[in-house]
Amino acid sequence: MRVLAIDSSNYVMGIAVMVDDTIVGELITNLKKNHSIRLMPAIEELLEEVGVKPNELDRIVVAEGPGSYTGLRIGVSIAKTLAWTLKIPLVGVSSLEVLAQSGRFFDGAIVPFFDARRGQVYNGVFVKDGTRLMRKNEDQIVLFEEWLKQNKDAHDQFLFISNDLLNHKETIVEILGDKAVLPPVSCANARPSELAVLGAMKEPIEDVHSFKPNYVRMAEAEAKWLASQEK
Instruction: Give the separation between CA 17 and CA 19, rounded to whole angstroms.
Output: 7
How do the residues of the chain divide into helix, strand and coil, expressed in percent and rounded to 5? 40, 25, 35
Say if CB 38 and CB 13 are below 8 A apart.
yes
Query: CA 199 → CA 4, 7, 99, 176, distances in Å?
Result: 9, 12, 14, 34
Q: What pLDDT score does 33 carry?
A: 84
Instruction: Give the separation between CA 40 and CA 132, rounded to whole angstroms.
Output: 31
Angle between helices 69-86 and 35-50 (to 10 degrees): 40
Q: What pLDDT score does 228 carry?
A: 64
Instruction: Give the separation between CA 231 and CA 228, rounded to whole angstroms.
Output: 5
Kindly list the structural domains of the chain, giving each domain's residue range(s) and its CATH number in brackets, ordered by start.
2-95+190-216 (3.30.420.40), 96-187 (3.30.420.200)
Torsion sign over Cα 39, 44, 45, 49:
positive
Q: Count of alpha carbons within 13 Å of 138, Cβ hemisphere only?
A: 8
Q: What pLDDT score does 32 carry?
A: 86
Amino acid present at 133: L
**For 109-122, what is each residue's pLDDT tens digit?**
999 999 999 999 99
Neighbours of 89 (CB within 10 A): 19
Spans in the chain with pLDDT lower than 50: 220-221
Closest to 213 measured CA to CA, from 41, 72, 62 = 72
